Structure 1
Amino acid sequence: MLAALIVLLVAFGTVVAALVPIVLALLVVAAGLAGVTLLANAMDVSTAAPTIAAMVGLGVGIDYALFITARYRESRAAGRDNTTALAEAMGSAGSAVLFAGGTVVVAMAALALTGMGFLVSIGLSTALVVLGATAAAMTLLPALLALLGDRIDRGRLRRRRRRAPGTAWWRLAHHISRRPWPYLLAAAALLLTLAVPALGMRTGFPDAGDDSASTTHRRAYDLLADGFGPGVNGPLLLVVDLRGPGAGTGDIAALAERVAADPGIASIGEPQASPAADAVVLRLVTTTAPGDAATSQTLDRIRGLVPANVSVAGLTAMTDDLSRQLARTLPIFVAAILAASFLLLMLVFRSILVPLKAVLMNLLSIGAAYGVVVAVFQWGWLKGLFGLEGPLVIPSPLPAIFFAVLFGLSMDYEVFLLSRIRDAYRTSGDTVDSVARGIAATGRVITSAALIMTAVFLAFVANPSPFARMIGLGLATAVLLDATVVRLVLVPAVMSLLGPANWWLPAWLRRRP
Structure 2
Amino acid sequence: MTRWVLSHRWPVVLVWLVLFLVGGAMSSGTIDKLSFESRLPDKPAQEANDTLAQRFAQTGGKNAPLLLVVTVPQGATVDSEDVRGQWSDLVAKVTPEGGRSVSYADTGGEALLSEDRRTTVAMVYPPANPTNNPYEQSLPAIKQTVEQTRIAGAQVELTGQPVLSGRDSGAERGPIYETLIGALGALVVLALVFASGLAVVPLLMAAVAIPTTFLLVRAITGITDVSFIVQYLIALIGLGIAIDYALLVVTRWREERAKPGADGPGPEARRLAVVRSVASAGHAVALSGATVAISLAALVVLPVPFLRSVGYAGLLIPLVSVAVALTLLPVLLYSWGDKLDRPRRAHRPDSRMWTRIAGVTTRRPALTAALSGAALIALAAPVFALQLGQPATATLAQGGKPAAAFERIVDAGFGEGIARPVEVLVEAGGAEAMKGDLAGVDGVAGVVAPADWQRDGLGIVDVWTTADPSSDDGRAVVDGVIDTARQTPGVLAGGGPAQDAAFIEAVYGSLGLILVFVGLLTFIVLARTLRSVVLPLKALVLNALSTCAAYGVVVLIWQKGYGSELLFDTPAVGAITIWVPMAVFAFLFGLSMDYEVFILHRIRETHLELEAEGERDTVIPSVVTGISRTGRLVTSAALILFLAFTALASIPVTDVKVFATALAAGIIIDATVVRGLLTPALVTLLGRSNWWFPRALGRLLVTTPGQASGPRSPSSSAAATAEEPPGGTADQTAAGSSEPGVSGRV
Whether the TM-score (by the shorter chain) exceeds 0.5 is yes
From 182, 185, 204, the equivalent of 1:3 is 185
Q: Distance in 1 between matches of 2:577 and 2:608?
A: 47
CA contact (8 A) 1:240 1:280 kept: yes
Alignment of 1:99-138 (within 5 A): 99-138=287-326
1:67 aligns with 2:253: no
CA contact (8 A) 1:113 1:329 kept: no
SS at match of 1:238: strand
TM-score by length of structure 1 reads 0.91
Residues 396, 217 of structure 1: CA spacing in aligned structure 2 closer, same or farther, 3 A cutoff?
farther
Q: Distance in 2 between matches of 1:235 and 1:458?
A: 35
1:273 CA drift (Å): 7.3
CA contact (8 A) 1:205 1:323 kept: no
1:485 aligns with 2:485: no
Alignment of 1:138-217 (within 5 A): 138-155=326-343, 159=345, 165-206=350-391, 211=396, 213=398
SS at match of 2:223: coil
Counterpart in 2 of 1:245? none
Q: Distance in 2 between matches of 1:421 and 1:89?
A: 16
SS at match of 1:390: coil
SS at match of 1:188: helix
1:315 CA drift (Å): 2.3
Counterpart in 1 of 2:36? none
Q: Distance in 1 between matches of 2:225 and 2:325?
A: 29
CA contact (8 A) 1:29 1:57 kept: yes
Counterpart in 2 of 1:403? 585
Q: Distance in 2 between matches of 1:219 and 1:35?
A: 47
1:344 CA drift (Å): 0.8
Residues 291, 454 of structure 1: CA spacing in aligned structure 2 closer, same or farther, 3 A cutoff?
same
TM-score by length of structure 2 reads 0.64
CA contact (8 A) 1:225 1:231 kept: no
1:85 CA drift (Å): 0.7
Residues 455, 241 of structure 1: CA spacing in aligned structure 2 closer, same or farther, 3 A cutoff?
same
Deviates more, 1:483-492 or 1:86-95: 483-492
Deviates more, 1:59-68 or 1:142-151: 142-151
1:89 CA drift (Å): 0.7
* Counterpart amino acid of residue 231 in structure 1: G
1:476 CA drift (Å): 1.4
CA contact (8 A) 1:236 1:313 kept: yes
Q: Distance in 2 between matches of 1:44 and 1:216?
A: 37
CA contact (8 A) 2:300 2:311 kept: yes
* Counterpart amino acid of residue 380 in structure 2: A
From 674, 686, 711, the equivalent of 1:498 is 686
RMSD: 2.5
Deviation digits for residues 352-377 of structure 1 (CA, Å, limit 9, x no counterpart) = 00100111111111111111110111
1:469 CA drift (Å): 1.8
Deviation digits for residues 458-494 of structure 1 (CA, Å, limit 9, x no counterpart) = 2223333222222222111111121111112112211
1:274 CA drift (Å): 5.7
Residues 333, 240 of structure 1: CA spacing in aligned structure 2 closer, same or farther, 3 A cutoff?
same
Higher helix proportion (structure 1 or 2): 1
* Counterpart amino acid of residue 32 in structure 1: T
Q: Distance in 2 between matches of 1:146 and 1:255?
A: 75
1:440 aligns with 2:619: no
* Counterpart amino acid of residue 385 in structure 2: G
Deviates more, 1:460-469 or 1:202-211: 202-211
Residues 38, 257 of structure 1: CA spacing in aligned structure 2 closer, same or farther, 3 A cutoff?
same
Counterpart in 2 of 1:354? 535
Counterpart in 2 of 1:232? 418
From 194, 204, 213, the equivalent of 1:12 is 194
Alignment of 1:413-424 (within 5 A): 413-424=595-606
1:50 CA drift (Å): 1.6
* Counterpart amino acid of residue 367 in structure 2: P
Counterpart in 1 of 2:448? 268
* Counterpart amino acid of residue 460 in structure 1: L
Residues 238, 91 of structure 1: CA spacing in aligned structure 2 closer, same or farther, 3 A cutoff?
same
Residues 264, 76 of structure 1: CA spacing in aligned structure 2 closer, same or farther, 3 A cutoff?
same
1:224 CA drift (Å): 8.2
Between structure 1 and structure 2, the one with the greater Rg is 2
From 203, 216, 233, the equivalent of 1:22 is 203
Q: Distance in 1 between matches of 2:217 and 2:405?
A: 33
Deviation digits for residues 354-412 of structure 1 (CA, Å, limit 9, x no counterpart) = 10011111111111111111011111112332212234311111111111111100111
Deviant stretches of 4+, over 4 Å: 207-212, 214-229, 271-276
SS at match of 2:509: helix
Q: Distance in 1 between matches of 2:404 and 2:343?
A: 53
Q: Distance in 2 between matches of 1:126 and 1:252?
A: 45
1:296 aligns with 2:475: yes
SS at match of 2:666: helix
CA contact (8 A) 1:334 1:403 kept: no
* Counterpart amino acid of residue 402 in structure 1: V
Structure number with the bigger relative contact order (C-alpha 8 A, sep ≥ 6) is 1
Q: 5+ unaligned residues in a row in structure 2: which ranges?
A: 1-182, 263-268, 612-617, 704-746
1:272 CA drift (Å): 5.8
Counterpart in 1 of 2:554? 373
1:282 CA drift (Å): 2.0
Q: 5+ unaligned residues in a row in structure 1: which ranges?
A: 243-248
CA contact (8 A) 2:438 2:444 kept: no
Counterpart in 2 of 1:336? 517
Deviates more, 1:448-457 or 1:222-231: 222-231
CA contact (8 A) 1:224 1:233 kept: no
Residues 341, 163 of structure 1: CA spacing in aligned structure 2 closer, same or farther, 3 A cutoff?
closer
Counterpart in 2 of 1:392? 574
Q: Distance in 2 between matches of 1:39 and 1:319?
A: 26
1:83 CA drift (Å): 0.8
Residues 122, 354 of structure 1: CA spacing in aligned structure 2 closer, same or farther, 3 A cutoff?
same
Residues 219, 131 of structure 1: CA spacing in aligned structure 2 closer, same or farther, 3 A cutoff?
farther
SS at match of 1:240: strand
Q: Distance in 2 between matches of 1:110 and 1:452?
A: 25
CA contact (8 A) 2:435 2:448 kept: yes
Q: Using the aligned pairs only, state the percent identity.
A: 33
Deviates more, 1:354-363 or 1:214-223: 214-223
SS at match of 2:373: helix
CA contact (8 A) 2:296 2:587 kept: yes
* Counterpart amino acid of residue 259 in structure 1: L
Residues 5, 322 of structure 1: CA spacing in aligned structure 2 closer, same or farther, 3 A cutoff?
same
Deviates more, 1:33-42 or 1:393-402: 33-42
SS at match of 1:394: coil
CA contact (8 A) 2:444 2:477 kept: yes
1:436 CA drift (Å): 1.1
* Counterpart amino acid of residue 361 in structure 1: L
1:120 CA drift (Å): 0.5
CA contact (8 A) 2:369 2:678 kept: yes
Residues 167, 390 of structure 1: CA spacing in aligned structure 2 closer, same or farther, 3 A cutoff?
closer
Counterpart in 2 of 1:50? 231
Q: Distance in 1 between matches of 2:212 and 2:403?
A: 35
Deviates more, 1:399-408 or 1:481-490: 481-490
Q: Distance in 2 between matches of 1:17 and 1:163?
A: 16
Q: Distance in 1 between matches of 2:535 and 2:279?
A: 21
SS at match of 1:239: strand
CA contact (8 A) 1:211 1:466 kept: no
* Counterpart amino acid of residue 409 in structure 1: L
* Counterpart amino acid of residue 200 in structure 2: L
1:308 CA drift (Å): 3.9
